[in-house]
Amino acid sequence: MSDGKSDTGDWVYSDTVKDHFLNPRNFLMGDESKFDYDAVGLVGNPICGDQMKMYIKVKDGKIFDLRWKTYGCASAIASTSALSELAKGKTLDEALQISAKDIDNYLGNLPKHKFHCSILGHDALRDAINNYRSNKK
């Protein structure tokens, strides 16, 4: 089922997941030096081999903008796209409160065996926020 289809060939993802996978929001295309970011987070998931980088721009204590790159499956891409939409405009602490379940609900539920993919973006965002905070000291 790694291609998003069940054993019967049916698409197992919601239309929202499909939309965020095919049209990812805030995905960083090309060279990251072209995005004026304040901090970056990098995480990997040994369960599925996905890796993600999250770049954040902070203004007045809020996530003004963010971009991301990933080597991941449809669930990881859709989840991070959704997270990027949910996190924009939030304070750093508010963004950290966005849970994997919030992302899953926003997307209309991932298949149970793909729920772990919703955690990857959150971990990358947490790493970027921690990086930002440690550089501001």
Pairing, β 50-59 against β 62-71? antiparallel
The CATH number of whichever domain residue 22 belongs to comes to 3.90.1010.10
| Active-site residue identified among 12, 48, 88, 109 | 48
Domain contains 56: yes
Split into its structural domains, the chain has a count of 1
- Helix, strand, coil percent content, the chain, rounded in steps of 5: 45, 25, 35
Residue 27 or residue 46, greater confidence: 27
**pTM recorded for the entire structure:** 0.83
Residue 73 annotated to the active site? no
Domain contains 89: yes
Q: What is the mean pLDDT of residues 40-69?
A: 89
Taking residue 14's Cβ as centre, other Cβ atoms within 10 Å add up to: 15
pLDDT in tens, 68-83: 998 878 888 899 999 9
Q: In what order do the strands lie in the sheet with 50-59?
A: 39-45, 50-59, 62-71
| Active-site residue identified among 52, 117, 119, 125 | 117
- Rounded CA gap, 19 and 3, in Å? 15
Residue 131 has pLDDT above 90, yes or no: yes
